[in-house]
Amino acid sequence: MVALVSAISGLLYGYDTGIISGALLQISDEFGIGSGWEQVIAASILAGAVIGALACSRLSQRLGRRKTLLIVGVVFVLGSAGAALAPNPVLLSLARVVLGFAVGGATQTAPTYVAELAPSKYRGRLVLFFQIAIGVGILIATIIGASESVDWRISIGAATVPSALMFLLMLRLPDSPRWLVKAGREDEARQALERVRPKGSDVSGELHDINELVEAETSASTSGWRGLRERWVRPALIVGCGLAVFTQLSGIEMIVYYSPTILTDNGFSNTVALRVSVGLGATYLITQLIGLAIIDRVGRRRLTLLTLPGAALSLIVLGTFFVTDHAGKAQVPYIIATLIAFMAFTAGGIQLMGWLTGSEIYPLATREAGAAAQSASLWGTNLLITLSLLTIIDTIGTGQTFWLYAAFNVAGFVFLYRKMPELTGRSLEQIENRLSKGKFTPADFAGTR
């Protein structure tokens, strides 16, 4: 049930961000708006996500993971209902800001909540439910959009159902034992552990380990947001936030949010454009599953560096179709194949790293603040891209915009090649130890596990 709550929050993240792709075609017709308002409506959820990621980081420290997720569940319901009932683009954008708060809060809190309640041998696969559910949410959103028979208000309002389910499930679940110990409520922490462990299990050893970790965190000289400014922590912050920025500059959100709009603006029919978005959603989910299956064998750094050139090349080819005026009906199969190739390289590579590294790259005492800073960097970059993309296309052209994002992928490759060490196979303690000794370059991690 704990993992299911995380999966629902991930599904809502994927669905609420993905549903706008097809809905924008209907919204622009109903409200009679142009690309400027389309950008604002699409980006408003991201503005809320930045606020939600930062605010819920502090809420989860003060109120606990459970209460924070209950608040997130209520906000999901209110935001979805408000967006579905909005009578004009202004109120629709404001409702999506509220919805974005829940999205940002969920991405910040749900994976941590699961990690702190799950038995160690199941932790990885249970936390990954969140990542997989994002892909499922995007795929469901694209299928609904492609049907063209579901009104945009119904498709957006439908998210209230899983939101309410998430809230009801959370009412029955315990709080994080780690947070309870930190709050001085050890008896409640023991009860929480006993609820999620086999009946009759002795949880004393696990509770002792939690006490030791909490004591180490509270006594650490480098902690919280102040700790991120420490010189020895800075390399982790640069890699983590840089990686978050380049996951968005890869162009993934350009395709998820705007592929139907871009294609219809270039002569594709609504039906074809929406069907392409379904293929892209399916590719996203499938390649994420493949990437998750091989990441521990291939390695985080290696997988990212192997896939980024493929994404860049796909965007170069895609841009060439439009720049050379070879984007007519005869080239449709090739354009679709190139879009799918881009999605496969991106979703199965760098997209896996944005959330994963936040839970492992920072020292224990700064991990929560580091993950929040990384989330805010990711959502903030996403916001800037979504607010500017259609304007950039109108200014320099569709093909040239694809080339611009190809250049971002090349820049991401160079940055990560020079800065990102291979963290696969290293314990959190080993990573922190290398960081504290100032040995956090790719060369420092090469050849040893």
Q: What is the pLDDT of residues 29-47, one digit of tens each?
A: 899 988 888 888 988 988 8
361 shares its domain with 440 = yes
Boundary residue ending a domain (136, 155, 173): 173
What is the pLDDT averaged over residues 2-6?
82
Which pLDDT score is estimated for 76?
93
What is the pLDDT averaged over residues 144-166?
88
Kindly state whether residue 187 falls inside one of the protein's structural domains: no
Q: What is the pLDDT of residues 239-251, one digit of tens each?
A: 989 998 999 899 8
75 shares its domain with 159 = yes
Distances (CA, A) of 240 to 46, 237, 272, 402: 19, 5, 38, 25
Kindly state whether residue 185 falls inside one of the protein's structural domains: no
153 shares its domain with 34 = yes
6 shares its domain with 72 = yes
389 shares its domain with 301 = yes
294 shares its domain with 417 = yes
56 shares its domain with 133 = yes
Kindly state whether residue 97 falls inside one of the protein's structural domains: yes
Which pLDDT score is estimated for 447?
60
Task: Check the CA dihedral 180-186-190-191 and report its sign.
Answer: negative
Which pLDDT score is estimated for 313?
96
264 shares its domain with 395 = yes
Which pLDDT score is estimated for 218?
72
What is the pLDDT averaged over residues 275-299?
86
Name the token pair of 281: 């959603």
Q: Enter the pTM of the model.
A: 0.79
Phi first, then psi: what are they for 184, rounded to 5°? 80, 20
Which pLDDT score is estimated for 73?
92
Any residues with CB less than 8 A from the CB of 141 and at least 6 apart, and which?
14, 15, 18, 19, 21, 22, 155, 281
Rounded to 10 deg, the angle between the 332-347 and 270-298 helix axes is 30
Kindly state whether residue 361 falls inside one of the protein's structural domains: yes
Q: What is the pLDDT of residues 92-106, one digit of tens each?
A: 999 999 999 998 888
389 shares its domain with 271 = yes
Give the separation between CA 150 and CA 133, rounded to whole angstroms.
Answer: 22
Kindly state whether residue 183 falls inside one of the protein's structural domains: no
Which pLDDT score is estimated for 428?
66
pLDDT bracket for residue 390 (50, 70, 90): confident
**Residue 83 pLDDT more than 90?**
yes
Boundary residue ending a domain (110, 141, 173): 173
Kindly state whether residue 346 falls inside one of the protein's structural domains: yes
Kindly state whether residue 323 falls inside one of the protein's structural domains: yes
**Residue 212 pLDDT more than 70?**
yes
80 shares its domain with 153 = yes
Any residues with CB less than 8 A from the CB of 57 and at least 6 apart, and which?
108, 368, 369, 371, 372, 375
158 shares its domain with 274 = no
232 shares its domain with 148 = no
> For residue 381, what is the domain's CATH number?
1.20.1250.20
Kindly state whether residue 195 falls inside one of the protein's structural domains: no
Boundary residue ending a domain (111, 144, 173): 173
- The residue among 357 and 164 whose pLDDT is bigger is 164
Which pLDDT score is estimated for 164?
93
The count of structural domains within the chain is 2
Which pLDDT score is estimated for 259?
77
Domain of residue 119: give its range.
Answer: 1-173
Which pLDDT score is estimated for 162?
92
Phi first, then psi: what are they for 423, rounded to 5°? -90, -10
Give the separation between CA 417 and CA 396, rounded to whole angstroms.
Answer: 30
